[in-house]
Structure 1
Amino acid sequence: MKIAMVSEHASPLAPLGGTDAGGQNVHVAALSATLAQRGHDVIVYTRHDGTHSERTIHTDDGYRVVHVPAGPPRPIPKDEILPHLGEFAAFLRDDWAREHPDVVHAHFWMSGMAAELAAHGTGIPVLVTFHALGTVKHRYQGRADTSPPARIRIERLVASRSARVIATCSDEVGELTKMGVPPHHVSVVPCGVDLDLFTPDGPVAERGAPHRILSVGRMVPRKGYDLAIAALRELPDTELVIAGGADDKGKTHAEARRLRGCAHRIGVGDRVHLLGSVEHTAMPELIRSADVVACTPWYEPFGIVPLEAMGCARPVVATAVGGMLDTVVDGVTGALVAPNSPEALAAAIRPLLDNPHLAASRGAAGRRRAENSYSWERVGTRTLTAYRKVCARRVDRAAMSA
């Protein structure tokens, strides 16, 4: 099968940790590699931002990355890409005229818009994974939401015109239903985790306190690191390590300064350590050094970090939002807590620090859950099922019209 992946801002080749580089990049890269390893011809289309000089890169994982000339050849925030989508779509249409894909899988609403414009009238089915929805982002960020004003309206159009929507969690299905997308038009396929990289056994990073809590992700306010910092007041002899973030025009530095100020104001500054960006391949040894991995965002469309922690057999305490309602099983692989409650967070973490056997049991259950439900092999199989469903429907329509 010829598969075109469209990921306009999230290149699978980009280093993680920047403002616009996170879980979607990992998802696109790992899914493309999984499908390529099964013998499918996979091309990822992403915007040319000047990072790589080559138009097309053949990756070691067997898929190709095509850098699409659309807008200035330099990094720009994803919220500034919309005016360049016409140019992006024109490139796709020309490229697909030469090399016709069997199916297109667009990632994010702008990719969906460009892919549907390019495929219009060709009969090529376009599936869309939104990764995040504008309605949810606006609900939680309000005036701080920098998305283009047309985002929510365009998302509805993209969803309605797609051959199928692939949601990453059950919470997203509910949000899509509120947008008018019928449930029968949606398949749920979660993100996955590399279980060969994220393992219970292997090197362990050093730590400086009897207990360690680890939080991982981009250095942005919605990740809720201040909640974990506040919980430290109830957790003596415990350090909090926050990994993630890269210098992006001072934005991540500003958030780091805010978090350090928060820690010092409540008297835990000496127990909070901000590591900055950590290489993805170095993350397992850092996770293994933690007693508990805390994931405390205000909202989280899916969240790959809980899966990486589960792969390393570490218990996860997470806020009960978004995709973590699916991945974290309360009382089995860790705990789910109410958002914005440092007291609830501390109360959920405390038993895991006090009882290593309980923590080990929760971690082992997490590893089993990751193996059973979130390996990239399983995710690849479920994704291919969605592809084949829309391709079969296309063949049936062609036969009926013949």
Structure 2
Amino acid sequence: MTPFPGPFPFDGGTFGAAPVATGALSVALVSEHASPLAALGGVDAGGQNVHVAALAGALADRGHRVTVYTRRDARDLPEETSLRAGVRVHHVPAGPPERIPKDELLPHMDEFGRYLTRAWRDRPPDVVHSHFWMSGLAALRATRGLGLPLLHTYHALGTVKRRHQRLADPSPPQRVALETEVGLGCERIIATCRDEVAELGRMGIPASKVGVVPCGVDTELFTPRGPVAARGAHHHQLLQLGRLVPRKGAAVSVAALAQLPETELVVVGGPPVELLGHDPEVRRLRALARRTGVADRVRFTGGVPSADVPSLLRAADVVVCPGDYEPFGIVPLEAMACGRPVVASAVGGQLDTVADPATGRLVPPRDPQALARAVAELLADPVTREASGAAGRRRTLRRFGWDRVAAATEAAYCDVLDALPVVTRVGAV
């Protein structure tokens, strides 16, 4: 059996993704706020939704039966529906059946956990993998009582969020303590980058419980070949993609644009285009663009269907990812898979995904001048841009395809199952 990989060797070879000899497992993925069925681009709908949907599908491709448990947030949702062959989505009745900001969901997690206990008592999964800290709480309540193995992926840590947002952090005050409880209570933590391993160590979670498996990218959807979105009249085009929240750093991109003549910035994400004028972050960014004299060179598309994202990425000369912090950051992978160079802030998972200078540039966060200098260097050199894009494509194929990510995740499941005492073991490998 392939052993569960420890910290991912980003700078030497590929991680352990060889096939694992295993029978089909029944896998429960718990993702309380991030449904794999959700439309992307909203405040609480982003990379975790993509990750859970893609991981579920890739595990199903390896022969496993996967059920994703997510909160029922609309009255018309069925109890269970099919996402694709081998993957079911189960809507858990926890709290009112309406959209609630994720930072207000904590009071409903006990109900979520009780529901999981009832659902799994008669038909237990072989392994449970929770995503985000509140999912971990609900899953921990259920797995403790039933003797089921639990693995956990945080996707974001409260310690990091609090450090960067301080008083603006809307998380419940007990978040860090509860995240620590999840980390100590589960059998294994699957971190997504090396920076997270260090953060977990500072929380008192032993390194022996942590392995690194990165997020992935669909290298067949995100590819250099295919339609290219229409461009504006300006000579160069930058693209920023993701949720429209201040920490994603779109204000840094707008400020940098003042030093990049004949360049347009396309900002993709947020509410539908017809509602952009009511969005507070869009209003803030438009005001900044007017003050810096670049309002005619900033274009907001609003949220777009995921199928349209590759063509938008292909149209860009450079993709910018200047977030204040980034627990992992899927956008750099999507851009690299499309053969686009990336300029990203040197934070979190972007330290692992973007290879500077091979696939782009890493710059300090919250620094428009540094962002502008790095972008200008690439815009001035089309040969380097092309070489960086090609290197990024090779890097995603070699390291970040979902088949490799699923294989490494499967290896983690098998490692945990192998370590269970026979008398309490649920699954068999």
Query: TM-score normalized by structure 2?
Result: 0.91
* 2:377 equivalent to 1:317: no
Query: Equivalents in 2 of 1:325, 1:215: separation in Å?
Result: 18
* 2:89 equivalent to 1:65: yes
* 2:290 equivalent to 1:264: yes
Query: Equivalents in 1 of 2:159, 2:181: separation in Å?
Result: 14
| Aligned partner of 1:349 among 359, 366, 375 | 375
For 1:293-339, what per-residue CA distance to the aligned partner results, in whole angstroms no more than 9, with x for missing partners?
00000001000000000010000000000100000011000000011
- Structure 1 segments, 4+ long, off by >2 Å, are 247-252, 395-399
Which residue is equivalent to 1:33? 57
SS in 2 for 1:120: helix
SS in 1 for 2:284: helix
* Alpha carbons 2:240, 2:319 under 8 Å: kept: yes
Matching residue's letter, 1:132: A
Which residue is equivalent to 1:213? 238
Query: Equivalents in 1 of 2:76, 2:328: separation in Å?
Result: 29
| Aligned partner of 1:22 among 37, 40, 46 | 46
Matching residue's letter, 1:344: A
| Aligned partner of 1:377 among 403, 408, 417 | 403
CA 1:84–1:250: 2 relative to 1, 3 Å: farther
* 2:146 equivalent to 1:122: yes
Moved more, 16-25 or 49-58: 49-58
* Alpha carbons 2:277, 2:283 under 8 Å: kept: no
SS in 1 for 2:140: helix
* 2:364 equivalent to 1:338: yes
Which residue is equivalent to 1:301? 327
* Structure 1: gaps (5+ residues): none
Which residue is equivalent to 1:284? 310
Please provide the CA RMSD for this pair.
Answer: 1.6
Which residue is equivalent to 2:36? 12
| Aligned partner of 1:161 among 185, 195, 213 | 185
Which residue is equivalent to 1:110? 134
Query: Equivalents in 2 of 1:73, 1:206: separation in Å?
Result: 40
SS in 1 for 2:66: strand
* 2:228 equivalent to 1:228: no
% identical aligned pairs: 55
SS in 2 for 1:66: strand
SS in 2 for 1:234: coil
* Alpha carbons 2:79, 2:91 under 8 Å: kept: yes
Which residue is equivalent to 1:94? 118
Which residue is equivalent to 2:388? 362
Matching residue's letter, 1:145: D
* Alpha carbons 1:211, 1:237 under 8 Å: kept: yes
CA 1:362–1:296: 2 relative to 1, 3 Å: same
Tell me by how many angstroms 1:52 deviates.
4.4
Which residue is equivalent to 1:237? 262
* Alpha carbons 1:219, 1:252 under 8 Å: kept: no
CA 1:335–1:252: 2 relative to 1, 3 Å: farther
* Alpha carbons 2:272, 2:304 under 8 Å: kept: no
Tell me by how many angstroms 1:357 deviates.
1.1
Tell me by how many angstroms 1:246 deviates.
1.5
Query: Equivalents in 2 of 1:64, 1:141: separation in Å?
Result: 36
Query: Equivalents in 2 of 1:302, 1:269: separation in Å?
Result: 30
* Larger RCO (CA within 8 A; separation ≥ 6): 2
Query: Equivalents in 1 of 2:77, 2:345: separation in Å?
Result: 41
Tell me by how many angstroms 1:350 deviates.
1.0
CA 1:285–1:51: 2 relative to 1, 3 Å: farther
Tell me by how many angstroms 1:53 deviates.
2.4
Tell me by how many angstroms 1:122 deviates.
2.1
For 1:134-191, what per-residue CA distance to the aligned partner results, in whole angstroms no more than 9, with x for missing partners?
0000100011111111110000010001100010000000100000111111010111
CA 1:55–1:152: 2 relative to 1, 3 Å: same
For 1:247-283, what per-residue CA distance to the aligned partner results, in whole angstroms no more than 9, with x for missing partners?
6999971100000000110101100111110111100
Q: How many corresponding residue pairs?
A: 399
Query: Equivalents in 2 of 1:324, 1:138: separation in Å?
Result: 19
Matching residue's letter, 2:218: D
Tell me by how many angstroms 1:58 deviates.
1.3
Tell me by how many angstroms 1:206 deviates.
1.1
* Structure 2: gaps (5+ residues): 1-24
Query: Equivalents in 1 of 2:140, 2:53: separation in Å?
Result: 22
Moved more, 43-52 or 230-239: 43-52
CA 1:361–1:267: 2 relative to 1, 3 Å: same
